[in-house]
Amino acid sequence: MKAKIDRTYEGSFHIVGGDFSRAGEASTELKSILLNVGIDEDTVRRVAIATFEAEMNIMIYATAGILRYTISPDEIRVVAEDMGPGIEDIELAMQEGYSTAPDWVREMGWGAGMGLPNMKKNSDVFRIESVVGEGTTVEMTIRLKDC
């Protein structure tokens, strides 16, 4: 038996680049939705970490983006799509500790270069696509555990 998810829930959040007053809003909201529908805490934690990192990357690097989620009986899917500069070398960006975050972002406590690696680590399926000058799309799937 999977977690008692009997239907599909979908929703989305708009994220505006540079609007740090709303940092973590989308991932916090998604976290409470997941807890409300009865997803186990370990899964919620993984989704929350991955979503927070995706949300912050849109805020830090992109102009704007949308974060869509689907909660279904078997899995949770989060797709973060942005309009922004894109990533030239995805393999390099995926490396632990690699960051182009400017100093003022680091002063706020972000920019450790662990966001993309942690998104991948916390997902069962992780995909990233990017077009330089257009934007980046990250797709993360977290399978629901048997309970």
Binding residues for ligand ADP, rule: CB under 6 A, are 53, 57-58, 60-62, 82, 84-85, 87, 93, 98-101, 110-117, 136
Instruction: Provide the binding-site residues for Mg ion, judged by CB under 5 A.
Output: 57, 115
Nearer to ligand ADP, 26 or 58 (CB): 58
Minimal distance, residue 121 CB to ligand ADP, in Å: 11
Pick from ligand ADP, Mg ion, none: which does 30 bind, CB < 5 to 8 A by kind?
none
Minimal distance, residue 95 CB to Mg ion, in Å: 12
DSSP bridge pairs for 69 = 11, 78
- In angstroms, rounded to a whole number, what is the distance separating the alpha carbons of residues 28 and 49? 10
30 φψ region: left (φ > 0), alpha (ψ -120 to 50), beta (else): alpha
Residue with the two structure tokens 């980046």: 136
Nearer to ligand ADP, 2 or 121 (CB): 121
Q: Please calculate the CA angle 19-48-73 and round it to the nearest 5 degrees.
A: 125
Minimal distance, residue 93 CB to ligand ADP, in Å: 3
Minimal distance, residue 60 CB to Mg ion, in Å: 6
Query: What does 96-142 look like in DSSP terms, one character per residue?
Result: TT-----HHHHHTT---S-HHHHHHHT-SEEEEEEETTTEEEEEEEE
Residue whose CB is nearest to ligand ADP in the complex, by number: 115
